[in-house]
Structure 1
Amino acid sequence: MDYIETWKEVIQRPSNFYRKMPVTGGYAEPLTFAAISYLIYGLLSALFNREMIGDMYGYGIGSGGPGLFNSLIIAITFPITGIISVLVGAAILYIIYKVLGGKGSYEGTVRFICYATAVMLLSWIPFIGWVFGFYGLYLYILGGMIVHDVSMVKSAIAVLLPLVLIILLAVAVAVFVLSSTFSTLV
Structure 2
Amino acid sequence: MIDTIVARVKGFFLEPVETFRQSKNDEPRAVFTYFGALLLFYAVISSLVRAVFGTGGAVGIVADLIMTVIGGFVGMLVFAAWVHLWVYVVGGREGIMQTVNALFYGSTPGLLLGWIPFVGIIFSLWSLVLYVLGIRDLQGISTARAVIGVAIAVVIPLVLIALLAAYFMVSVVSVTTPVPM
Partner residue, 1:61: none
In structure 2, the CA distance between the partners of 1:117 and 1:179, relative to structure 1 (3 Å rule), is closer
Corresponding position of 2:36: 35
- 1:18 counterpart = 2:20: yes
The aligned counterpart of 2:161 is: 170
Q: Show structure 2 runs of 5+ residues with no match.
A: none
Number of aligned residues: 174
Q: Residue deviations 1:5-48, cap 9 Å, x none?
A: 1111112111000111124x542110111111111001111223
The residue type paired with residue 45 of structure 2 is: L
Report Cα offsets for 1:113-161 as digits up to 9, x if no partner. 1112211111111111000011000110000011111221211121121
Equivalent AA in structure 2 for residue 136 of structure 1: S
Higher alpha-carbon deviation: 36-45 or 160-169: 160-169
TM-score (norm 2): 0.87
Gap change, CA 1:48 and 1:183, over 3 Å in 2? closer
RMSD: 1.8
Q: Is the 8 A contact 2:114 2:120 kept in 1?
A: yes
Q: 2:145 aligns with which of 105, 129, 154?
A: 154
Ranges in structure 1 where 5+ consecutive residues have no aligned partner: 55-64
Structure 1 stretches of at least 4 aligned residues deviating more than 6 Å after TM superposition? none
Q: Using the aligned pairs only, state the percent identity.
A: 26
**Contact 1:117 / 1:136 at 8 angstroms: preserved in 2?**
yes
TM-score by structure 1 length?
Answer: 0.84
CA distance in 2: counterparts of 1:176 and 1:85, whole angstroms: 24
Contact kept, 8 Å, 2:92 with 2:139, in 1: the verdict is yes
Which of the residues 83, 95, 116 maps onto 2:73?
83
- C-alpha offsets along residues 76-102 of structure 1, whole Å, 9 cap, x if unaligned? 332222221222111111111111011
8 A Cα contact 1:116 1:140, kept in partner: yes
Alignment of 1:87-98 (within 5 A): 87-98=77-88
Q: Structure 1 residue 121 and structure 2 residue 93: aligned? A: no
